[in-house]
Amino acid sequence: MYLYNSATRKKEEFKTHTPGHVELYTCGPTVYHFAHIGNLRSYLMEDVLEKYMRYVGYDVHRVMNITDVGHLTSDADEGEDKMLKGAKRENKTVMEIAQYYTDAFFADCEKLNIKTPDVVEPATNCIEEYIHIVSTLIEKEYAYLAGGNVYFDSSKLPRYYIFNDHNEDDLAVGVREGVEEDTNKRNKNDFVLWFTKSKFEDQALKWDSPWGVGYPGWHIECSCISMKHLGEDLDIHAGGIDNAFPHHTNEIAQSESYLGHKWCNYWFHVMHLNDESGKMSKSKGDFLTVSLLEKKGYDPMAYRLFCLQSHYRKNLVFTWENLDNAVVAYNKLVAKIATFKKEGEVDQTAFNQLKSRFVKALEGDLNTSVAVTAVYDVLKAKCNDATKLAALADFDQVLSLNLISAAEALAKKQAEEEAANADPEIDALVAARTEAKKAKNWAEADRIRDELKARGIEIIDTPQGAKWRKV
């Protein structure tokens, strides 16, 4: 299996610290509002990554945090805590906000068939762990106190920028939106490990610490939660591309300074979902959620297919037209599969050939676009329906599009509708027409067709035989 490693900017063969076992960490949501569909694209592609690794035989241990404190409105440690902002917006407590939007997030994930990670840890559960690591960083002189806060000293690192070759001037005060001057910092790239009451007097969640009453910075949370559950050697860290800087950059800085060795081997970043005006963002006001898509009549599986049709390292543009096209594609897939019969034995040779195309697509940097094409290859394959159904069920362990269950539901619905509209006399005429066609008695077949047409009955010839419906 080959994956693009954002840290090295090249595709690399995936190798784990422990053969056959994957330690996987994915950045979770800051639960101050609903997740928009752009956020969920990242979780959806991480879901495919995890499921594919399990599919090819890895034992995967996946951990995700829930940020319920410490994430400020600017990722550069400026503004107010997003959780506090959400609580003020809805006149609720921070913990009420956190619980409500955590539940909403996982409800959306369930609708999209996104598997819940093995461990989900709220940031507020790990205060002792943060204090321990921050204390160690101070002792090792990678951190300092200033203005009541504890900062990581980026000047101690031989290399700070990991994922991009940044122009330092681009990060200067006033150049990039959201970056403001913090006079406590020794260097502009320094970041907060622990805030105290000296910064925000109205902060709702505070804890005692050696440096005063306060709360952790956002970046330290993921490092601690990862190390708590996955140990000192992380195989792969995943998240949206917007997390690469400064969040993941800062995670690497503090984690490797604390540990004294390399922390994570592979970094997996999912590109943005854009609308026609640019990157989707909650700050724009109105934003699209799974629930809103459902209210407009869209099946969440259509949105999942929409995402899978594009590679995770490509920006994806959302338009209603593009989503409508995904709906059409999904419905056609399901309708075709609904015609397959379960009779017969699986042709193992044909099955293996179909599976090899699917695996080849995903083992080359998780190319879901080509993997979806492999689904269409199954539909066109010269093998029996039993083999096709077996291959589709196998692929859906990774794609999670509910193809088989949706097809079965459609076939059942169609059968019920046919039963409700059953008419023995018309059935007999349709059967007589079929026999006439077999006998090449075209005149009689046409006569029966015309008689039925005059009675408001349309005959539809299918590979499975003649069907009829009232028009």
By percentage, how much of the chain surpasses pLDDT 70?
A: 93
By the 8 A CB rule, do 167 and 248 touch?
A: no
In the predicted structure, residue 127 carries a pLDDT above the cut 90: yes
Q: What is the mean pLDDT of residues 402-407?
A: 96
285 has pLDDT over 70: no
pLDDT at 310: 96
pLDDT at 179: 47
Query: What percent of the chain clears pLDDT 90, i.e. is strictly above it?
Result: 73
The pLDDT value given to residue 174: 34
Q: What is the pTM of this model?
A: 0.87
Cα first-last separation, the chain = 53
DSSP 361: H
Give the integer Cα–Cα distance in Å for 143 and 257.
10
pLDDT computed for residue 176 by the predictor: 41
pLDDT digits (tens, 9 = 90+) for 154-180: 999 999 999 875 444 444 433 344 445
Is pLDDT of 24 > 80? yes
For residue 335, what are its two tokens? 């309708």
Strand locations in 262-418 (E): 264-270, 273-275, 278-279, 316-317
Nearest C-alpha neighbor of 209 from the set 223, 195, 192: 195
pLDDT given for residue 229 in this prediction? 98
- The distance from CA 99 to its chain's CA centroid, rounded to whole angstroms, is 21
pLDDT class of 193 with cuts at 50, 70, 90 = very high
Residue 126, helix vs strand vs coil: coil
Q: Which of 266, 361, 369, 358 is nearest to 316 (CA)?
A: 369
Residue 165 pLDDT = 53
pLDDT at 393 over 90: yes
Which pLDDT score, from 0 to 100, does residue 282 have? 56
pLDDT band at 278 (very low <50, low <70, confident <90, very high): low
The pLDDT of residue 289: 93
Instruction: Assess whether pLDDT exceeds 80 at residue 220.
Output: yes
Q: How is residue 15 written in tokens?
A: 């190798």
User: Confidence class of residue 74 from pLDDT cuts 50, 70 and 90?
Assistant: confident
Residue 391 near residue 351, CB atoms below 8 Å: yes
Q: For residue 63, what pLDDT band results from cuts at 50, 70 and 90? A: very high
Confidence of residue 353 (pLDDT cuts 50, 70, 90): very high
Give residue 141's pLDDT: 97
Task: Find the mean pLDDT for residues 181-209.
Answer: 84
Whole-angstrom Cα distance, residue 46 to residue 431?
52
**What pLDDT is attached to residue 169?**
46
| Residue 130 pLDDT greater than 80, yes or no | yes
Q: Which of 199, 226, 225 has the alpha carbon at shortest distance from 213?
A: 199
pLDDT digits (tens, 9 = 90+) for 237-248: 999 999 999 999
151 within 8 A of 190, measured Cβ to Cβ: yes
What is the overall mean pLDDT for the chain? 90
Q: How confident is the model at residue 286 (pLDDT cuts 50, 70, 90)?
A: low
Contacts of 101 (CB under 8 A, 6+ apart): 29, 31, 32, 33, 34, 86
pLDDT at 73: 78
Q: Does the pLDDT value for residue 274 go beyond 50?
A: yes
Q: Please report the pLDDT score of residue 175 as a whole number.
A: 35
On the 0-12 / 13-18 / 19+ scale of CB atoms within 10 A, 349 is: exposed
Confidence of residue 378 (pLDDT cuts 50, 70, 90): very high
